[in-house]
Structure 1
């Protein structure tokens, strides 16, 4: 019997020969295409080798990721994805604060209370997502005005910076394909020895308006933990 829908996904059949941090970064980048990822949990104990948990902010994102990535090729193996059984600590921490997680670890919280916290989180996640998107959109519009004063005007081409160096064009493309009018995406070569988030790209849309929609939605999007990418207008000659 399958588990009920959850914001946490359980991934198996992972290639355990890949280094732990590299695997975690790539899982984060892969699943972030489908929504806000709160945490990626991957350990190397004998019982958990080849498995991981990916925690999303909301149920819609986790469901989309499950449908889109189950069977996806990843480091030479096909991922097997299902809903996780329990409520993750990341979900509880966002809903109630880190002190709630400490209480669980100390044995002061019951399994029933953990489940209730997870259900409460799923109820409010849609409203939280809307508020976060509105705040990000407002900030992007304010930045647009500031940039116009410096001579950078809206146009069909976006300049993307702050990308993790391990990100590929295939990882980046689905993010920008969500928005109509995408014409091309070019990931620039990253010199060896560059900083971990020195990746750059140009993304072109059919119109400046379409590019602006993508810019507003994806500026400061997290492709890796604590690594927001910057999406701005490309300078025109």
Structure 2
């Protein structure tokens, strides 16, 4: 567990995916409120996370009791699968009233999410480029029609390339889609607001792109979260901000 602190959140799986979020949360609250004070219920609605929810209790003991007592209980004719969440929820951290702790918690969560996306994207790329069993590699893979591309040895598959949006966090940001003449000073005004800012590096001979470096990964995560998609010069362009490819 990342924080080393007790977790008061129950992770629920195997929920009926056809039930809408609000009725689902009402049913979960009716069942779990018997075991303690609930401060939040998060029911996932995106396609990948359907059938899952998080029950956030006020104290860890309530969460543990709920898991012990409700494990396997049928809701909408499906047995619920319960376990403690891996990390504390946003609602739990907010209870402390410590803004600095909450910001650090949020940065960790965003970093974990970005790393997970990067891994999933890399796996998908590998799956798509894996040769079909029993079929010669040069037939199973579509040929690349790119001028100047080097030839690969027979049977060597193309490397899995992670899209920019799913690159794992690091302390250097890659900034793209900048308006003509948008210089180092203008970028410094934007990115120096975030903790640990070190410098902006323009690319000689290349307009529209730059690198922004921070002392630590946490500063870069916060900066990316707050600047990606920012409109520049009266909406002339929106800035694209990703992590530097390692």
Shared fold (TM-score, shorter chain, > 0.5): no
Return the TM-score normalized by structure 2.
0.39
More helix by share: 1
* Structure number with higher relative contact order (C-alpha < 8 Å, ≥ 6 residues apart): 1
Question: Is the radius of gyration larger for structure 1 or structure 2?
Answer: 2
